[in-house]
Structure 1
């Protein structure tokens, strides 16, 4: 078989398999709950929001904004902890330098 024809045939098979999967998924319908347990909100994209695909439907979790806020707080806390560690390392390096100088002074006598 010609390699180009084989590639086209493979693409057709993949497309057909994907369509079968889409049909199988559509039988379940739109989920009523998010995996986190929150309620899903049905939204429609307006023309003023985006130029492409106005009227497209999409679904967001009721807890989405809350989870974003929680994630932001968690990341802020991690940044503050990292800053404290960096300051601690800086202080330790200064202490090591002073101790090395004292050792040199004491050993020189």
Structure 2
């Protein structure tokens, strides 16, 4: 498919790299248009491709937000684990002292 893109330097390709057909268009005169009547080409699937890519961007943003939320949750859980480890260590020391008192 990349050959189609490469061939576009030598003229308008017959097929788009996505496999869709090419539509030849001519730009209309607009206020900021410096070259009215310029010829260009687009893919028949152009709008569908933009919609598909937009959907992928939205999904990627959702994944990024979820990743951030999970990262924060992991930090909170690590703090809780650290606190629990300290409590276990404290209780272990006290159990050791009680064993000495009871069994000595």
**TM-score of the superposition, structure 2-length normalised?**
0.68
* Stretches of structure 1 lacking an aligned partner (at least 5 in a row): 1-24
Residues 76-98 of structure 1: per-residue CA shift (max 9 Å, x gap): 11111122222112111111101
> Do the aligned residues in 1 keep the contact of 2:12 with 2:41 (CA within 8 Å)?
no
Q: Residue in 2 aligned with 1:19?
A: none
Aligned length: 82
Compute the RMSD of aligned alpha carbons. 1.7
Render the CA deviation track for 1:41-96: whole Å, top value 9, x for unaligned: 11111112643011111101111111111011111111111222221121111111
Any runs of at least 4 consecutive aligned residues in structure 1 with deviations exceeding 4 A, and if so which?
A: none
Comparing 99-108 with 51-60, greater Cα deviation is found at 99-108
CA distance in 2, matches of 1:106, 1:35: 63
Secondary structure at the residue paired with 1:46? coil
Q: How does 1:1-109 map to 2 (within 5 A)?
A: 25=10, 30-48=12-30, 50-109=32-91
2: CA distance between counterparts of 1:51 and 1:95?
Answer: 57
Extract unaligned runs of 5+ from structure 2. Answer: 1-9, 92-104
In the alignment, the residues of structure 2 paired with residue 49 and residue 41 of structure 1 have an alpha-carbon distance, to the nearest angstrom, of 24
- Could you tell me the TM-score, scaled by structure 1's length? 0.65
